[in-house]
């Protein structure tokens, strides 16, 4: 890389970050009162991904540096190849269990997920409606009024006696991959450990919050965000700045084991985040 290209890359990452942090960090010293923020929403494609921020090319052909709020709602959807699966991933799938709680057949469909309060880990009766990735009947009441076979007893919510036996041997399982080798997985859940084997070409869907897997050309939609107010007396900036509170990313290609998280062009390192005694956070914090 030539010295001019290196300088341009450095300015691209360092200058916007420094300016943005200086202008909008409420803890910065000697700062004037923050102006009221304007609502922001836009669709486009990803140009580059770095920790805490995404460079987006909007549908109107304008570049925006999208800073991710520390509690931003992020949804990344797409597909993945088998070699992308690894220990530490969270997956959800439907399976038939025998009386001992063992998975009886090879798994043809599963979804890589991100657990949340509304979608926690667990096991409950019923297949996932519409295939992998949906919510099972009964919501998050794991096992509903019954129990998975071979996993001990329990009581139905609000019932005084023992829980009745489940009426199905098909279950939805949402757990963490503890071991993954040659299509054989060990999945750990709060209600037990399951050993499964995948079919030769399983359908693997992706629905998680890991934006680091995004690449240039992937579709992005900031559905809820904020930006500094426009100043009519100032020329329009070549690089817009906004903070995302909610966004979705649609992967244009399947994830594979060779698709590593995006990093800025070497040897230029990403700029250090501003020091914040309050903990790890975005370069600035804004509120509606």
pLDDT confidence of residue 257: 85
Domain limits, the chain = 79-153+166-208
pLDDT confidence of residue 32: 59
pLDDT confidence of residue 140: 41
In terms of average pLDDT, the best of 2-11, 218-227, 228-237, 269-278 is 218-227
- Split at pLDDT 50, 70, 90, the class of 251 is very high
Q: Which two tokens stand for residue 52?
A: 């805490």
Residue 4 has pLDDT above 60, yes or no: no
Model confidence, pTM: 0.70
Residue 214 has pLDDT above 90, yes or no: yes
Q: Three-class SS of residue 98?
A: coil
pLDDT confidence of residue 37: 86
Integer angstrom CA distances of residue 158 from 33, 155, 165, 186? 53, 8, 16, 33
pLDDT confidence of residue 30: 58
pLDDT confidence of residue 230: 72
User: Which backbone phi and psi does 11 adopt, to 5 degrees?
Assistant: -65, -35
What single-letter DSSP state applies at residue 285?
-
pLDDT confidence of residue 285: 43
Residue 267 has pLDDT above 60, yes or no: no
Rounded Cα–Cα distance for residues 238 and 87 (Å): 42
User: Which backbone phi and psi does 195 adopt, to 5 degrees?
Assistant: -105, 125
More confident residue, 68 or 23: 68
pLDDT confidence of residue 157: 36
Residue 265 has pLDDT above 60, yes or no: no
Cβ atoms of 98 and 273 within 8 Å: the answer is: no
Rounded Cα–Cα distance for residues 170 and 126 (Å): 5
pLDDT confidence of residue 95: 94
- Split at pLDDT 50, 70, 90, the class of 239 is confident
Rounded Cα–Cα distance for residues 241 and 20 (Å): 8
Cβ atoms of 267 and 9 within 8 Å: the answer is: no
H/E element, 192: strand 192-208
β-strand partners of 100:
none
Residue 11 has pLDDT above 50, yes or no: no
DSSP 19-66: HHHHHH-TTSTTPPPPPPPEEEEEEEEEEEEETTEEEEEETTS-EEEE
Q: Which two tokens stand for residue 154?
A: 């329990």
Average pLDDT over residues 174-189: 94
Q: Average per-residue pLDDT in the chain?
A: 76
Q: CB neighbours (10 Å) of residue 173?
A: 26
Q: Which two tokens stand for residue 49?
A: 């991904």
Residue 6 has pLDDT above 60, yes or no: no
pLDDT digits (tens, 9 = 90+) for 109-154: 999 999 998 999 999 898 886 554 444 444 444 444 345 566 544 3
Rounded Cα–Cα distance for residues 253 and 272 (Å): 31
Average pLDDT over residues 76-90: 95
More confident residue, 134 or 204: 204
More confident residue, 32 or 224: 224
Q: Which two tokens stand for residue 86?
A: 């690894």
DSSP 198-260: EEEEEEEEEEES-GGG--TT-EEEEEEEEEPPP-TTSPPPSEEEEEEEEEEEE-SS-B-TT-P
pLDDT digits (tens, 9 = 90+) for 157-175: 333 444 445 556 899 999 9
Residue 219 has pLDDT above 70, yes or no: yes
What single-letter DSSP state applies at residue 82?
G
Rounded Cα–Cα distance for residues 98 and 255 (Å): 33
What percentage of the chain reaches a pLDDT higher than 90? Answer: 51
What percentage of the chain reaches a pLDDT higher than 70? Answer: 61
């Amino acid at each position: 890389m030539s010295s001019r290209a290196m300088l341009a890359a450095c300015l691209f990452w360092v200058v916007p970050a420094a300016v943005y942090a200086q202008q909008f960090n409420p803890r910065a010293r000697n700062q004037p009162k923050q102006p009221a923020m304007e609502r922001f929403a836009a669709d486009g494609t990803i140009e580059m991904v770095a920790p805490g921020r995404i460079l987006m090319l909007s549908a109107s052909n304008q570049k925006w540096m999208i800073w991710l709020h520390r509690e931003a709602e992020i949804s990344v959807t797409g597909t993945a190849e088998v070699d992308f699966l690894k220990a530490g991933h969270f997956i959800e799938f439907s399976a038939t269990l025998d009386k001992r709680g063992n998975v009886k057949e090879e798994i043809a469909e599963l979804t890589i997920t991100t657990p949340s309060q509304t979608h926690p880990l667990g096991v409950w009766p019923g297949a996932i409606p519409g295939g992998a990735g949906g919510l099972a009947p009964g919501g998050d009441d794991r096992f509903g009024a019954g129990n998975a076979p071979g996993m001990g007893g329990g009581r139905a919510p609000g019932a005084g006696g023992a829980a009745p036996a489940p009426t199905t041997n098909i279950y939805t399982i949402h757990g963490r991959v503890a071991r993954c080798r040659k299509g054989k997985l060990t999945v750990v859940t709060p209600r037990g450990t399951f050993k499964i084997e995948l079919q030769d070409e399983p359908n693997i869907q992706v629905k998680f919050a890991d934006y680091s897997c995004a690449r240039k050309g992937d579709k992005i939609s900031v559905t809820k965000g904020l930006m500094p107010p426009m100043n009519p007396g100032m020329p329009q900036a070549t690089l817009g700045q906004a903070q995302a509170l909610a966004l979705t990313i649609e992967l244009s290609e399947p994830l594979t084991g060779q698709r590593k998280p995006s990093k800025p062009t070497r040897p230029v390192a990403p700029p250090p985040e501003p020091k914040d005694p309050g903990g790890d956070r975005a370069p600035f914090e804004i509120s509606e």
